[in-house]
Amino acid sequence: MEPASGAAAPPARGIPSTLPSTVAEQLRDMVIEGKLAAGARLNERALCDKLGVSRTPLREAFRMLAAEGLIELTPNRGAHVVALSEEDIRDNFEVMAALEALSGELACERIGADEVTAIKALTFQMLACHARRDLPAYYQLNRAIHDRINRAAGNKTLRETYTLLNLRIQNLRFRSNFDEDKWAKAARDHQAMVAALEARDGAALATILRDHLAAKCSAVLDSIRRKS
């Protein structure tokens, strides 16, 4: 007999270990792009049908996302997408801005020429997506760029802290680009990031990244207040 909705189910034998991870990635993208809205209840049957999986890997994916702080599992009530308060949003972005700034500062000390070239190439691709107004593709590249800067910092503790917190606010970072003017400003910021990386100017890159995250926070809060 299956456990009640939202209850932890043991992994079933015969299910590939990568399947729950694949399902978690699909759900994560749906949360980021707003297809699963903040506060929304996750309907297991509908998601199983949509993703073509059984409830066992879906529930394992739920547990993964709950550990990341993206969804909440409530006994007898199932799973819900986490909805952050304005204070939570501000707090998360303040810390993320500091982590991004530190990543940029350390990256400028430690990054290799090949990695700078790779980030520059990703930025050109991202800007092309911006010109086409392809936000999902733009954002995938955007995430990759920020991730590479963080990796280039070469600090394991920073990496772990950054990754966990960043997962919680991906949907908000995505939403911050809904305003055309603010999206254009964010794209220009990335050009400045590349220039600072090429110059190995850690102080400049830290400032750009800190201001970049502050602007995103402001965009998200403005959007929420307009809807309230």
pLDDT digits (tens, 9 = 90+) for 30-66: 998 888 988 899 999 999 999 999 999 999 999 999 9
Cα-atom radius of gyration of the chain, to the nearest Å? Answer: 19
d(CA 49, CA 40): 18
Q: Which of 16-30, 60-74, 185-199 has the highest mean pLDDT?
A: 185-199
Residue 16 pLDDT level (bands cut at 50, 70, 90): very low
CATH dotted code for 86-227: 1.20.120.530
pLDDT confidence of residue 6 = 37
Phi, psi (5° rounding) for residue 130? -65, -40
The domain 18-81 is classified under which CATH number: 3.40.50.720, 3.40.50.2300, 1.10.10.10, 3.30.450.70?
1.10.10.10
Residue 17 pLDDT level (bands cut at 50, 70, 90): low
Instruction: Assign 3-class secondary structure to 8-64.
Output: CCCCCCCCCCHHHHHHHHHHHHHHHCCCCCCCCEECHHHHHHHHCCCHHHHHHHHHH
Q: Answer yes or no: same fold for 18-81 and 86-227.
A: no
Mean pLDDT of the 122-149 span: 97
Domain ranges (residues) in the chain: 18-81, 86-227
pLDDT > 90: what percent of the chain?
76
pLDDT confidence of residue 228 = 65
